[in-house]
Amino acid sequence: MNAVSSKELDKLIKKQRDFFSTGETRDVGSRKEYLKKLQTAIKENEKEIISALYSDFRKSSFETYTSEIGTVLVELGETLRKIKKWSRVQRAATPVTHMPGKSRVYPEPYGVVLVISPWNYPFNLAMAPVIGALSAGNTVLLKPASASPATSKVMNNIISSVFPEEYVKVLLGEEIKHTLLDYEYDYIFFTGGPEVGRDVMTKAAKYLTPVTLELGGKSPCIVADDADIKTAARRIVWGKFFNCGQTCVAPDYMLVTEKIKNKLFEQMKSELEKVYGANPEKSPDFARVISDRHWVRIEKLLHRGDIVTGGDVEQSARYIAPTIIDNVKPDDPVMQEEIFGPVLPVITVTSMDEAVKFINGRPKPLALYLFTRSNKLKKKFMTETSSGGGCINDTLMHFPNGHLPFGGVGLSGMGQYHGKKSFDTFTHYKGIYHNVNWIDVPLRYAPYTNSGMKIIKMFLK
């Protein structure tokens, strides 16, 4: 797989800096041509991508296309349509004190960008930021997760067929990850957990490198008493157990009152049987836990609270059934970290005020989901809680909406991307003031006078 060693990385970074210095990536026409070639290569390798995702964790072709291939193609299509507009020099307002000059904003790329991507959506969460970085005119070094090797291999084949390594290079192999952050880049985009995110930020600080951190967190799902229970059950089951729960914006726990809890459980159990059958292990649509290490971690979370449905496990197949656990306590292990698996703990609250208080007593989540018909409750949760994003009366659907910025806040991350926000993330907006030579007001120059001060005060107030 042509893995890059630590010794080779320094030369590769220099090679990319030299290529960036030629100015080729600054040409919008050239960017578009490369992105079109990437679009074609992805379409031509659709079967290989689907096969790789199945190999890595038995992901169905439908889930792979909708959450990996299709979303990336939409991102590419939007970028190709808008890149010329996004790249234009922009006019900015000029204050009267600066007249008759003019103000302009010049979008410019950072340079060499490092993208570190995760394993849970190994194609999407690698390619989306790469597309953003390329659209802005950067070169890219992509380090995909080692836990999804089949997908990494296919991405490497696709990218190497389109780009020379001085433009875009996939960094494969285990050796490289231990020294990857010791080098200087112009921008780092990291998707993963908070612990590694802290390390990325610490290492980036050495060179004052700007970073985007797309992390995770325990995203709450609140079901109010007035919610459409049947629809809520269906959308929560879909959002939680899609990709075997290995989604950074999956509902991580549910807050519900005693009044509707049992009714909601019955609807969710009915929905689970409807979509995965009586035995989800036999369903072709239910994925598997990515590795034995993660399987062991998730299985340990099943031993507190009361299992409402699920709980079946098979380590040799890395299978954990879609599981709902009731009577969970806030200090139980399942509530201490992001689950990242097919387990949904339930906390019973007495009111929506208590739900807000519970959410605000924990680190800010990457997503928040609220099911209610009440406009008052919608406003309450949107204004009294903080999260990276989320949905009202749905789950996950804000993520593939390229017109919405996506990113975390607090412990769930910093920075945003998708659509125009991806271009913005990898672009430095350079503000430039253009003055004229045919007039030069002497007021600003020394020696300063009292009369000059009076005139200045008329404008600067």
Residues with catalytic annotation? 214, 248
Q: What b/e readout covers 294-326, taking b as 16+ CB neighbours within 10 angstroms?
A: bbebbbebbebbebbbbbebeeeebbbbbbbbb
| CA-based nearest residue to 140, from 119, 118, 171 | 171
For residue 313, give every residue at least 6 positions away whose Cβ sits within 8 Å of its Cβ, in sequence order, or none.
295, 299, 302, 319, 320, 321
| 318 Rama class: left (phi>0) / alpha (psi -120 to 50) / beta | left
Beta bridge partners, 325, equal 307, 345
Question: ∠3-216-375 over CA atoms, to 5°?
Answer: 145
CA–CA separation, 310 and 19 (whole Å) = 54
CA distance 88 to 96: 25
Q: CA 200, CA 187: separation in Å to the nearest integer?
A: 11
Burial 186-198 (b: 16+ CB within 10 A, else e): bbbbbbbbbebbe
